[in-house]
Amino acid sequence: MSMSDGTINHWNIIEYDGEALSEKDEMIATELPVTVVVNGVEFATMVCSPEDLHDLVVGFLASEGLILFYEDIKSIDMDEDAGFIYVDLHKPLPEDTESHSKRFIGSCCGKSRQFYFKNDVKTAKTVLSRMMITVDQSLSLMKELQEHSEYFHLTGGVHNAALCTLDEMLTIRTDIGRHNALDKIYGHVIKNKIRLSDKLIVFSGRISSEVLLKISKIGVGILISKSAPTDLALRLANDLQITTIGFVRGNKLNVYTHPERLLEVSGTEA
């Protein structure tokens, strides 16, 4: 199968099928390094899948706290062959741009947030969503994500994130990086001014602290994943009032934090 967007390449391999060696044409996920230049300054280099790059850049800039609205961007010019994306903003870069990834120890609303990077303190949001979801809806949305994960079925080398309502998957984004897939969703949300009070995210990857913070920055209150969380991610989820549902496989799932949003599950906050 040929993918015109370059997300998949072909590679000749030698396969052992349990009985014999043979040549085979294998589909491999494409990995592209892209340097983002903001207002003439090299801001970051991302390794990503070469599709939906515009969404990726917009979501990344918002996640890093450089923009609040799509209108904060004057222009985005892409030179994919050279691996550069040039962004001009309507405002200057913060003076502390070089230190945006340094650790910051502080507090907010009486809760310790020593796990946050400096830029996360400004952009991570406590989510006040009143959205509720049933077990059956959670299982159904994960099944739908897996059925639409075309690139994963072909390569086994990508992650998928989907913006959903309780009953349907609205937008799916794919990338070799878990966080990149979420930034692509975030960029799509910002560009299209999507209301999030009735939305959630279904995700294929492990729930790390970085993933959880991106969910917070996007502003949804429910994250459903087929994989496991880390303890730091769960501590952040408790702090930021995000419901994390993991190991959603077949007819089973685990609720780790804020189970009050999942109907037919009783218990107190983890």
* Residue 252, annotated as binding a ligand: yes
> Phi and psi of 44, rounded to 5°?
-165, 155
Active-site residue 108, yes or no? no
Cβ-based burial of 167 (10 A; exposed 0-12, middle 13-18, buried ≥19):
exposed
* Residue 187, annotated as binding a ligand: no
| CA–CA separation, 195 and 220 (whole Å) | 10
Q: Given 48, 108, 109, 164, which residue is catalytic?
A: 109
* Residue 102, annotated as binding a ligand: no
| CA–CA separation, 259 and 264 (whole Å) | 10
Cross-strand pairs, 223 = 201, 244
Cβ-based burial of 57 (10 A; exposed 0-12, middle 13-18, buried ≥19):
buried
* Residue 250, annotated as binding a ligand: yes
* Residue 251, annotated as binding a ligand: yes
| CA–CA separation, 231 and 185 (whole Å) | 24
Side-chain-side CA neighbours of residue 53 (13 Å)? 27
Report, as residue numbers or ranges, the catalytic residues.
Answer: 109
The annotated binding site is made up of 247-252
